[in-house]
Structures are given as structure tokens and as C-alpha cells.
Amino acid sequence: MHGSSEAASAVLFGLNPMWVAALLFALTYVVVMTEKINRAIVSLLAAGLMIVLGILNQEAAIRGIDFNTIGLLIGMMVIVAITRQSGIFQFLAIWAAKKVDARPWGILVMISLVTAVTSAFLDNVTTVLLVVPVTLLITEELKVNPYPYLFAMIFSSNIGGTATLIGDPPNIMIGSATGLTFNDFAYNLSPVIIVIMAATLIPIYFIWGRHLKATPEDRQRVMQFDEYGAITDARLLKQCLLVIGLVVAGFVGARFLGLEAATVAMTGAALLLLLANWGRDAEHQSKHVLEAFNEVEWITIFFFVGLFIVVHGVDGTGLLKLLADKMLALTGGDLNATAMVILWSSAILSAIIDNIPFVATMIPLIKAMAPTFGGPEGLMPLWWSLSLGACLGGNGTLIGASANLVVAGFAERAGQPIRFVQYTLMAFPIMLMSIAISMVYLYWRYL
């Protein structure tokens, strides 16, 4: 569709555009993986080179950027930036701990659930950034090892994030590229996510949970925490809850209302900015709006922008179509086999490499398979395989997802470092278990 017609100058010093694009693309992957250069710089530079080398022109590059994904991410980041100031995350964690009488294993389960549910609606990094400090305080008061709690939080944030359209960047990208709605994700993914969450807690219980003990005095200290003291701004909290409620309702009714997810999120963000700044003078408004915008993770956003251009450039050369054909030849065009290859390969690759570029590449690749499987409708199981593989695979190693690294950072500073190898030895098998459960689910429901 968008092949040579979009190319600015198809000449490229006489080189084959497909191989130039492939080389640039591979180079982007490798340099991002080495983490020597900030990933936003790498992707923007690669995107610039794609245009300069004539693989695609600027107009085509801009068409390649999925502004629905970008808008949804920015909108939700602004909403989270304001909401976190209300203290709701700390409130939830303390409330959950007290609900189980501050029993160590009970707290682990409750904190995991709070993390999973919050990650399903807000971004994983923010969730762990706000829940980990309370958890560390609680474990310190209880004099129990924080390691199992942090381990469980990594898993629950990635598992919870898989359940919804807005929970994890791969889902946002898949939803945006395919038109699958919030409801589609909730309906198709949340059943298996609940099972996976429960199943993940079983090994954690047998490895650590059953050994966790705290004295009645230490538990009493946690029971004396006043969760309402964690709420720093009750008025702001009400505004946030109202807007989050409206945004979720907007996602649920998006198809009925004829709205895209980015519209819902950005309008929600604007509404919350309006409410939170109501009655402030111009100077204070500027200060607070700027603060909220500063919390947007611009590195991630620009990484996405560059990446979309790079992938679009590669896609335009027909390379991804070629890869899709190769993959179909490998699986014999069989839907079951293709779904399984996508599920397992995306899980294992996402444990090692950043799942965002991986999913960005897989989307056009899977789309190219539509004719083989009877049009876009036939691709459904493949999208769920990609989502489950890419999101859950992130649990496999410490570098599998950004939330993992944030938790590891806390652990390190708290003097309880999570070691890469030690983590992988426990986490990789548990991640594989979650993929096995996903496999059974996919077979049972779609294949």
C-alpha cells in the first residue's frame, strides 16, 4: 500500500531500500539494547536517517506515527501525575494491609492485588513507584524480608497491566492499530489474567510466603497506621476519582460514542487540569499545569514517535511482509501453530528485549497475515497471543519491563538488592507457567 510511492528518493546511492531499512532497523534494536545511548535519542536519530536516506519522506513518516497511542499515553500520564498527589496509592496499600490484620502473607496477597488492579488502569511504573515505598515501610515495621513482596509486585504489575487496553503499552499499540476496544481487551483478557494472578501467588507462597512471620507487637504497629492520614488532599482526590471514573466510562462506551481512546484520555486530562486548577490565579495555574506536563515521560513518548517512523519505513519496503510470509511458510499457514509461535516467541523475546519495539514490529507483520486467515477478523487469536506474550514475558527477567527496574532500584537502595540471575532463576519459570496458562486459554477459547 505505502511502498515505493511514499519514498522521497528511491535511489539511495543505488542501494536496495529494503536492506538499508533493515540495517537501520536492526541497528536501532541493538543500540537500544546496549543502553549506552538513551533510547529516545536512538529512535529519533534512526527515524531521521530513514527520511534522510530516502526510505520514506516526512509526510509518510508523520503518517506512520500512531497519534492515538501517543495521545492515550500522554493523557493517562497527566491524569496519573495529578492523581498521585492525592495520596490515594498510599491509602490503598495501607488500607489493604490493615484489612488482613497486618498478617505478612495476607499483606503480600493484598498488595499484589492492589498493584495488579491499579496497573490495569494506570501505568505500571507509576503504580510501583507509589506502592513500593509504603510496602517497604510496612515490611520494615513487621521486620520481614521485603524481597518476596517486591518480587510479587513486579509480577502483579505486569500481569495486571495485561488485562486492559490501557494497562500496558503493547496493549495500547495493539488496540490502536486494530480498533480493538477497551471492552474487547477486558472481555478477552481479564478472565485468563485472574487465573494467572492466582496461579502466580502459589509458587510465591511455597517459596517464601509460608515462612513469613511477624510478632503481634510489630503487626500492631502497622495496624496503628492511619490510612486516612495518607490522603493529602481530599478535594483533589474526589476530582481525580470523578475524572478517572468518567475516563473509564468513556473507554467502555468508546465504540458506542464513536470515540478513539486518545480523545477520551486527553479530554479527561484536560478536565482534571481544569478542576484541579479551578479558582487559582493565572500564575499558579501555569505553575501547576507545567508541573503536570513535566511528569509526562517524554523519553517514552519520543521513543514511540521515532520507533513508529522507523517501523513504518521498514514496513514500506516490504520487509515485514516478507518476514510474515516466511513465518507463515514455517507454520504452514496454520492458525494454531502461528498463534503459538507468536505467543511463545513474544514471551521469550520480551523477557530479554524491550517489548515496545518488538510489538511495534509485530503489528504490521501480523496485519500482513490477514489474507491467509480470512481477513482482519481471523487475526483475533493472534492479537491476544501477542498481547499475552509481550506483556507477561516482561516478568521473565529484571530487564523485561521498566517497572521491574524501578522495583529493583528501590530494593538496591533499601539494601536488599534483587540480583539479575537470582531473580531470573525464580521468575523465568513462573513467567513460562503464565504463558502455558495463556496457551491453554487460547486453545480453549479461540483455537
Partner 1 sequence: MKAKLIMNPHPMTLRPTDTVATAADRILKHHLRHLPVVDEQGRYLGTFSVYSLLKLTLPKAVLDKYGLDNVSFVTESVEDLAQRLGKRRDEPVKNWINIHEVARPDTHAMEIMLLMLHGRTTSVPVVDKATNRFEGIISFWDVLEKLIGENK
> Judged by CB, which is closer to partner 1: 28, or 90?
90
90 binds partner 1 (CB under 8 A): yes
* Nearer to partner 1 among residue 226 and residue 281 (C-beta): 226
Contact of 48 with 8, CB cutoff 8 Å: no
- C-alpha cell recorded at residue 50: 530513514
- Between 150 and 391, CB nearer to partner 1: 150
Considering only 276-284, 396-404, 407-415, 420-428, which stretch makes contact with partner 1 by CB under 8 A?
407-415
Helix/strand/coil (H/E/C) assignment for every residue in 148-175: HHHHHHHHHHHHHHHCCCCCCHHHHHHH
Least Cβ distance, residue 157 to partner 1 (angstroms): 15
**Does position 383 bind partner 1 by CB under 8 A?**
no
- Mapped onto helix, strand or coil, the DSSP state of residue 38 is coil
- 245 touches partner 1 by CB under 8 A: no
CB 369 within 8 A of CB 379: yes
DSSP string, 249-264: HHHHTHHHHT--HHHH
Please identify which residue in 133, 318, 333, 378 interacts with partner 1, judged by CB under 8 A.
133
Please, is 440 exposed, middle or buried when counting C-beta atoms within 10 Å of its C-beta (0-12, 13-18, 19+)?
exposed
Computed from CA positions of residues 174, 84, 130, 120, in that sequence, does the dihedral angle turn out positive or negative? negative
Q: Are 79 and 244 in contact, with CB atoms under 8 Å apart?
A: yes
Asked if 87 touches partner 1 (CB under 8 A), the answer is yes
The per-residue b/e assignment along 103-116, b for 16 or more CB within 10 angstroms, e otherwise, is bbbbbbbbbbbbbb
Q: How many residues bind partner 1 (CB under 8 A)?
A: 25
State which of positions 221-240 bind partner 1 (CB under 8 A).
221, 224-230, 232
Binding map of partner 1 across residues 162-201, x = CB under 8 A, - = no contact: ----------------------------------------
Return the DSSP state at 361. H
Note whether 151 binds partner 1 by CB under 8 A. no
In whole angstroms, the minimum distance from the beta carbon of 230 to partner 1 comes to 4
Judged by CB, which is closer to partner 1: 59, or 140? 140
Residue 28 near residue 42, CB atoms below 8 Å: yes
The reply to whether 394 sits near partner 1 by the rule CB under 8 A is no
- Spatial distance between the Cα atoms of 438 and 416, rounded to a whole number of angstroms: 32
CA 214/CA 97 separation, integer angstroms: 13
At closest approach, how far in Å is the CB of 101 from partner 1? 17
Of 129, 189, 339, 351, the one binding partner 1 (CB under 8 A) is 129
**Minimum Å distance from CB 226 to partner 1?**
5
Q: CA 228 to CA 283: how far, in whole Å? A: 31
Please say which residue, 136 or 430, places its beta carbon nearer to partner 1. Answer: 136
| Site residues for partner 1 per CB under 8 A | 87, 90, 94, 129, 133-134, 136-137, 139-141, 221, 224-230, 232, 409-410, 413-415
